[in-house]
Amino acid sequence: MTTEMIASFDGVVLAVHRMGAGRPVVMLHGLFSDAQTNWVRFGHAAKLVEAGFEVVMPDLRAHGHSSKPHEPADYPEDVLVRDVQALVTSFGLGEFDLVGFSLGSRTAARAVISGLAPRRLVLSGMGLEGLAGWARRAHFFIDAIDRYDEIHMGDPAFFAKSFMKTQKVDRVAARLLLQSVGDTTPEQLAAITMPTLVLCGSEDRDNGSPHALAEALPDAQLAEIQGTHMSSVTESALGEQLVSFLQ
């Protein structure tokens, strides 16, 4: 794996990790995570490389090895979408596939609605309500950041706090980022016309109904694997489903 640091549209530096050779697959990780945690650690990236793809895995702004600015001006609306557009331009990607998990799926869907045109799209860890009702979901995590030192075992936000601690999350940057993500209405989903896989854990409804999301998209199929929102990303079946769909 190689890592390159690129300047986004506004000069903020993003870390982009790459493996393999072949048709590029841009992979966007989830909130408080990074490329290593979601895509590399459990072998999903390796499966795609073995299948003949190149994986292009940014650490999203305020995550991983990417910059974590503390100025509100560095988090305009849909900043992650603009970062993905900048990445595609920076690497001169022509035909490519786009994969997201959770926050990465929100970003991927909004990037397509904004004009990005991947060959195929995968929205994992996502349901219809998670795209249209982001404000409620964001409030939960902002509250966890604001009450970080007060949260103890038994609090609904305890797991979120524990994950932030494990990932060494920059809470100032993360809070600013959470406020930059826009909602996606069901009507906007009509713009997502490429073949799409909605991929979700059988016990994962953190972001609403994956069945309703698949039904709302013009050309989508649904696949379920074992697990909850957090555990499904550790399942080897996730990488297997990615390879099967993208091939």
pLDDT, position 137: 85
Q: How far apart are the first and last CA of the chain?
A: 22
pLDDT, position 169: 97
Query: Is the distance from CB of 59 to CB of 88 less than 8 angstroms?
Result: no
Q: How many CB atoms lie within 10 A of CB 156?
A: 10
10-residue mean pLDDT series, the chain (247 residues): 97 98 97 98 98 98 98 97 98 96 97 97 96 86 96 95 96 96 89 97 96 96 97 97 97
How many angstroms separate the CA atoms of 200 and 101, rounded? Answer: 9
pLDDT, position 171: 97
Query: Is the distance from CB of 205 to CB of 247 less than 8 angstroms?
Result: no
Long-range contacts of 4-9 (CB under 8 A, 24+ apart): 6/86, 6/87, 6/90, 6/91, 7/86, 7/90, 8/61, 8/82, 8/83, 8/86, 8/87, 9/82, 9/83, 9/85, 9/86
Query: Is the distance from CB of 214 to CB of 221 less than 8 angstroms?
Result: yes
How many angstroms separate the CA atoms of 149 and 229, rounded? Answer: 25
Q: How many CB atoms lie within 10 A of CB 241?
A: 20
How many angstroms separate the CA atoms of 180 and 78, rounded? Answer: 6
DSSP, collapsed to helix, strand or coil, labels residue 212 as helix
Tokens 């939960």 identify what position? 140
Domains by residue range for the chain, with CATH: 2-132+183-246 (3.40.50.1820)
pLDDT, position 183: 86
Query: Is the distance from CB of 98 to CB of 112 less than 8 angstroms?
Result: yes
